[in-house]
A and B are shown apart, each in its own frame.
Chain A
Amino acid sequence: MAKPKVAVYWSAACGGCDVKVLDTNEKILDIAAAVDLLFWPIALDFKYKDVEEMADREIDLCIINGGIRNSEQEHIVKLLRRKSKVVAALGACAISGGIPALANLYDAQSILDYVYHKTTSIDNFQGPLPQPEYDAPEGRLTIPKFYDSVFALDQMIDVQYYIPGCPPPPSLIVKALTAFLQGTLPPPPATVAGEGSVCDECPRERNREAKVKKWKRIAQFTPPADTKKCLLDEGFFCLGPATQAGCEALCIKANIPCEGCMGKPQGVTDRGSKMLSYIASLTDASTEEEAKKILNDVVDQAGLLYRFDLPKSLIGGRRKE
């Protein structure tokens, strides 16, 4: 029997997801032996032309990490969609925009203006901005168009499987690939992750009576390492209760509050507001003013609540006409 054909692509991503595919350690050799890798820009020397020359639906599994930030990425994921039977989104960026999508709180013009004119490390004395097209004496030069917003992968193309995390734990990647090779993947669309929320996997103990007077940031306070108390009870902004299980509470075991990279749990539409209601019920305030004061002290609320899923949330980002 012919080996299944697999392609891997990265769009608006940092490369961490690709590294995690390699981080499956010795299993990567089994994976490489079991499949035919047709395209993987970060690891193998194939060109876009090779993909264009493939027959439609020739790729059996196409794994895409990263959201869609510019016209090149949109073109390639749509091309890969046409050439693939199954598309899997790997990592928070592909599933819900991820950290690059926090830029949806701004628009393209203000981002370019800041990056090319206002950052202290830049000396752009003539002040030009990158142009998608430029007529040089030698001919027309083009670069991809920078979009106003970052899109999650399934806002551009149909996606059958989701492997969450930032980056996804190698155990989940192995689980998904093994299921693919054995043909035991659940009917799509499906997420390959754990059951319940991160709290179900967390070893710390909750105190149901706990109330919080001040929300602390990990940058300013370090949680005491020896305690087994719940980080939320201690006043750290931990997104565990509103995050899909599957990571085995990796960060919390390392004394770092959960940032929510595994995405929203099943049945939740808007994770940030779900978390907000959790935070509100833990906050110890008897009057509205007191509650406002405590919650206004939280720095970067949007970044905390919607760090990985702004384009897929109900608020979506800055309104663009």
Chain B
Amino acid sequence: MARDHSFDNRKFVIGGIAVGIILIYIIRLFSLQMFSDDYKKSADSNAFRKEIIYPSRGLVTDRKGRLLVYNEPSYNIMVVMQEQWGVDTLDFCETVGITPEFYKQRMKEIKQRIGYSRHTPQLFMSQIPAEEFSVFKEKLYRFNGFSAEKRTIRHYADGMGAHILGDVGEVNEKDILNDPYYRSGDNIGKLGIERSYEQYLRGEKGMRIMLRDVRGRTKGHYMDGQYDIAPVPGRNLTLGLDKDLQALAERLLQGKLGAIVAIEPATGEVLCMASSPTYDPRIMVGRDRGKMHRKLSADPMKPLLNRAIMGTYPPGSTFKLTQSLIGLQEGSITPDIGFPCNGGFHYGGLHLGCHPHPAPIPLVPSIATSCNAYFCWNLVRMFSNRSKYPTVQDAMTRWKDHLVEMGFGYALGIDLPGEKRGMIPNAQYYDKAYKGIWNALTVISISIGQGEVTATPLQIANLAATIANRGHYYVPHVVREIQHAELDSVYTTPNYTMVDEKWYDYAVEGMRAAVTGGTCRGAAIPGIEVCGKTGTAENRGQDHSVFMGFAPMNEPKIAVAVYVENGGYGAVYGVPIGGLIMEQYLNGELSETSKLKADAMQQRTINYGKQER
């Protein structure tokens, strides 16, 4: 057969089409595979499920190594919606202790969650304690699609120290925004050291990389777990707290509003910190936390308020020690100078009362008897000394600087959230209040710790510690030791005041005299040289009863501040409580008579009425 060659060249067109197509496809492959990383990332996010392995939270012990906070197993009940069928809802609800309405509501919520999948376990209920879980576990086989996930729950060994220990709760949106470490459903410290030491306590979450298929089902470990990250357990904390002392402090405050703070002067460690009313930290655990928290928030007595660092009160006569020190340093008084006190301070038309005592007397007995007139004269002499201070404002500024260096007017920086700063007025404050026309007499009440001056019980305790140390203090802190980590240097560096060490001896002597023969006789402990100072902080209602002290006089081991709201004279509540606290700590126990005293104090209640505190 003759061959027709007329269209032979068309083979090149057809071959060309084939070459063209393959060439275009290779270019396309090149651009898909070589140029862009996006597809790889998409594939990874498709296929990998990163499962979090939760670390155990750090333990907390007191200064003697006794356990305060630990973890116990708890369980989350999970449900896979697709496999959940034929469940006897009523039986289920009864077993886990919920109502059928709650069950329906919960199922509805789960389906609306972001990232919901019918094929993966969804959280149904969290933090089921082990004992409740055991009942559920026995019946688990009957509840298709339900399973359990082991987690831990926080446990507080004793019903004490709620304000210090704090609690943990589920993170909120703000927490997640602030720190991408957290994911919805994680726990975070909410109050107390659980919050301030969150970074140490939480540890580091680990991660398991699992493969998942298109339906979200898990298909085993990625690369046999090569890239999994083991969790790092949280660090343990040792507190400066003495468990027995804390228990006693809380006991003594029962039925009263107030706070007790004790500090070890040599280190600044908080030995006890009680605030009344308080609550049992064990109730703030698990599923009921939200409910209990709401209940406590609504209480007019404000049990959630840590009065030791958040309550700001007039310091009353305890403040006179600061005035003595400033006066001595600034030269407005000498240890031997005396001032008239004829039932109080009289200057022009101004009169400020004082209780009857012999006058004039030098500094030490003035501290011991808490003479008001003495400290008024001190302030007048300082603020009126125009040769030293060109204006009253300059004198005021100097006065304020002294107090700030002593730890007043600003938050001390304790390692607990929510500390208040108290109030030390400055010259600008009075310029504004009195339109620039004022003098020592206008502001005379600040000399005796009244008027605009306020301080937290912690600041008063810190004052006692500073005097005990003769002129320096360490920022008070509740945590004594962090496992495998150093304390913040803030807590280990001494802070010196602007007053020379030698002047502190007079303050110490005055406080010793107050116990031996002044207002604080009730704080005396046989065999121990106790130093103290009462305060009776004037107030809209009944005066607050205040005590500040430390012991022993030389080589002080404990400094303490006691505030009892509306307790009247310092000697009524403050002094005996302060004495008991020091005795317990120094002797390790109370004497028989002191035990009776402590029981009696525990029984005494003050009626505060119903108004908001």
Chain A bound to chain B: no
Using CB atoms and an 8 Å cutoff, list the residues of chain B in contact with chain A: none
